[in-house]
Amino acid sequence: MNDNPKAMPTRCLSQLEEMDIRLGKVNRNLSVPELIEIAIQRGEGALSSTGALSVKTGKFTGRSPDDRYIVDDETTHNKIDWGKINRQISENNFEKIFGRMKKNVQGKEFYIFDGFVGADADTRLPIRVITDNAWHSLFANQIFISPTQKELKNHEPEFTLLSVNDFSAIPEDEGTRTETFIILNFTKKIILIGSTSYAGEIKKAMFSTFNYLLPQRGVFPMHCAANVGKDGNSALFFGLSGTGKTTLSADPERRLLGDDEHGWSDNSIFNFEGGCYAKCINLKRENEPQIWNAIRFGTVMENVVFKNGTREPDFSDGTLTENTRAVYPLEFIPGSLVPSIAGHPKIIIFLTADAFGVMPPISRLSREAAMYHFVSGYTSKLAGTERGITEPKETFSQCFGAPFMPLHAKVYADMLGRKIEQHHTKVYLVNTGWSGGPYGVGKRINLNQTRAMVRAALTGGLDRVEFVNDGIFNLEIPLICPEVPSDILDPRRTWPDKKKYDSSAKKLARLFGKNFEKFGRMPREIQKAGPII
């Protein structure tokens, strides 16, 4: 064993032995410089000209949602919303895989991160992340919340995650679809990951775990970014990967709570994480200065290509994947709020990247419309966020995060509706996708114009503006918006061929209706808040 007491105290050793995990040399809670040094020595990555550690994740450059499983047992059987997203695996097959994993890791060198999920002390989750790569431990160090020295001394994890990159499942014997697996066992409080190097699986496995636990504790878990204005008013930004949560929440005029995962309790909103996981394809200093400046020593860049003969990152190069990423601690964003806790939000922004090019760039939602669009979760999957996605494709992801929501959508939607009503929160739907035509014909909505629309929503610039109903999506569109050309606010006006717009818009409206049918009998007032079909 490692003779460094920090690396493997007796308490930690005994906890692992109770689980029959008998590792060799264990490096526990190493510092950022130590982990970077080891990763470079082991050939896991290289330093870029910015000081960030650059790594490659092999053939897995995005999540593998079809390879995520939840153990079906007495605890979960009647709670989980089973189906294509929440796939079942038996207790027996879990034990088969876990048993082989324990034999595989015996006597080998591993890295341990002990920390927390959740900035709120009353609900935070103590976790342990065990990885066979130093850079994965660095990833965990930067994305989760690190403990103080006092907390570390007495740390007892409630959930343990074991990730082994070169360990594969045996599909024909162990009930998996492929050799790759992400398995959540909520009863034994163990998460297993194998045969993938994509670090996002570690982050999202913990997110899914919290999304299962928190509603049972009366806390609303959310796939959203959050920030706070100088007036103390907070805002939430919901949306799937690539829709703009990180970009739009990183506002120099506001303090950042976090860019992806939050909870809403009776007392506050709070970040689940201690870091940010930003997409950086086509990143430019002039458009996103805060993210650009955060990519420095301590940051991990995934699948970012260097310019020829240099160590300079080429953020425009999507050779390996469009899903290039950078993970960095929250404090790398100037003015970020640590600990990341704030009061109840005054504004909620739903983000969608509409590849049809027919959704308005901004619209106002009633409470019922907010619940409808939250349950629907319409957007376009953008290239690279999942394996096999090479161009935008329309999708409906309930709660703007279906792959991470173990419970039925109605559980989360009801919580949202109660929160909006209780705190008089205003909700807007913002399209960060296309205008003037579909993907390949129209253009992506200008980021500066999107920022101006969001700013107007946050500062009250839309409070005294006249709105009109679009007649197809049943959305309230502002006639004017500060700093935004009025002719782009109505998407129909941006299309050269109005009949093609009407046809495309009605097609998407019908898709909304068809998708909504899967939720069964929903309250009539919510059904009526959707598109007019």
| Residues catalogued as catalytic | 63, 204, 223, 241, 245-246, 260, 325
How far apart are the C-alpha atoms of 205 and 191, rounded to whole Å? Answer: 7
| Exposed e or buried b per residue across 279-295, where buried means at least 16 C-beta atoms within 10 angstroms of its C-beta | bbbebeeeebebbbebb
Sign of the dihedral defined by the CA atoms of residues 130, 216, 243, 459, in that order: negative
Smallest CA-to-CA distance from 288 within 254, 329, 251 is with 251
How far apart are the C-alpha atoms of 478 and 124, rounded to whole Å? Answer: 40
Residue 129 pairs in a beta bridge with 113, 161
CB 224, CB 419: distance < 8 Å:
no
| Exposed e or buried b per residue across 120-148, where buried means at least 16 C-beta atoms within 10 angstroms of its C-beta | beebbbbbbbbbbbbbbbbbbbbbbbbbe
CB 190, CB 21: distance < 8 Å:
no
CB 472, CB 354: distance < 8 Å:
no
The two tokens of residue 424 are 């008089």
Q: Look at the block and give the residue holding tokens 């027919």.
A: 358
